[in-house]
Amino acid sequence: MKLTLHIWRQESPRTKGKFETYFLNDLDTHMSVPEMLDHLNEKLIKEEKDPIAFDSDCREGICGQCGFVINGHIHSPEKHATTCQTHLRSFKDGEELFLEPFRAKAFPIKKDLCIDRTALDRIIAKGGYISVNTGQAPEANSILINHDTAEAAFDAASCIGCGACVASCKNASAALFTAAKISHLALLPQGKMEANKRVKSMVSQMDMEGFGACSFTEACEAVCPQGISISHIVTMNREFWKE
């Protein structure tokens, strides 16, 4: 398989970046996009050139680290898929691909396709947890939760923190990410004791990080690899105004 790759190269957050072009004619359609970049990097290293920097970890669509933009598609041209779940069979032989990092003020570019997502970590640190006494785990059935509530909480908890919602939003809003983290705890009895403090702290931190406001275009839900519903943003707003 042959592909022409136009890849964003940027040495550091303080330098100016540009697209550089690479031609590959020995690709396998079963390769994932990160495997394709590994293959290209092997060639660049042999030529004593700087390899392309990109993030990846699990390569199973779980960690959310691999995300970047492919031909204008956040993560992938495939629906609800991460970059590492995207294989070269998704593209045509001889196609041109433009690969670039997510663009958002709160996600500064570290190098090439790598971005700094620690703004999301700082939002979590402000309340995306519950305070419990350590020791023996409680009996799982001691707190009864109905099926619909449990399913809604699981939907929110499936967020992998990839930042696709931010990259797709015209306002670079982190509302879906923050709402998912707030909602899955707000729905459960274990999270209700700290609910008021949690929502106020996490929303305030989201604003401090420079994320934009949500205008409900639903682009975030459309590109989310986990298909998380924007209904959780409604839950977050309700919890915030209660506080």
179 in Cβ contact with 206 (< 8 Å): no
Domain ranges, ordered by start, for the chain: 3-111, 118-133+143-242
SS (H, E, C) 37-66: HHHHHHHHHHCCCCCCCCCCCCCCCCCCCC
Please write the tens of the pLDDT for every residue from 101-144: 999 999 999 999 999 999 999 999 999 988 877 777 777 778 88
Q: Which residues of 174-185 are buried (b: 16+ CB within 10 A; e: fewer)?
A: bbbbbbbbbbbb
Domain 3-111, CATH among 3.40.980.10, 3.40.1160.10, 3.10.20.30, 3.20.20.70: 3.10.20.30
Closest CA to 240 of 206, 189, 210, 211: 206
Closest CA to 157 of 141, 174, 177: 177
Q: How far is CA 210 from the centre of its chain?
A: 17
Closest CA to 23 of 11, 46, 39, 35: 39
pLDDT tens for the chain, residues 1 to 243: 999 999 999 999 999 999 999 999 999 999 999 999 999 999 999 999 999 999 999 999 999 999 999 999 999 999 999 999 999 999 999 999 999 999 999 999 999 999 999 999 999 999 998 887 777 777 777 888 899 999 999 999 999 999 999 999 999 999 999 999 999 999 998 888 898 899 999 999 999 999 999 999 999 999 999 999 999 999 999 989 988
Token pair listed for 233: 């943003």
pTM higher than 0.75, yes or no?
A: yes
Please write the tens of the pLDDT for every residue from 154-167: 999 999 999 999 99
Question: How far is 108 from 123, CA to CA, in rounded Å?
Answer: 16
Residue range 118-133+143-242 in CATH 1.10.357.10: no
133 in Cβ contact with 190 (< 8 Å): no
- The DSSP H or E segment spanning 147 is helix 147-157
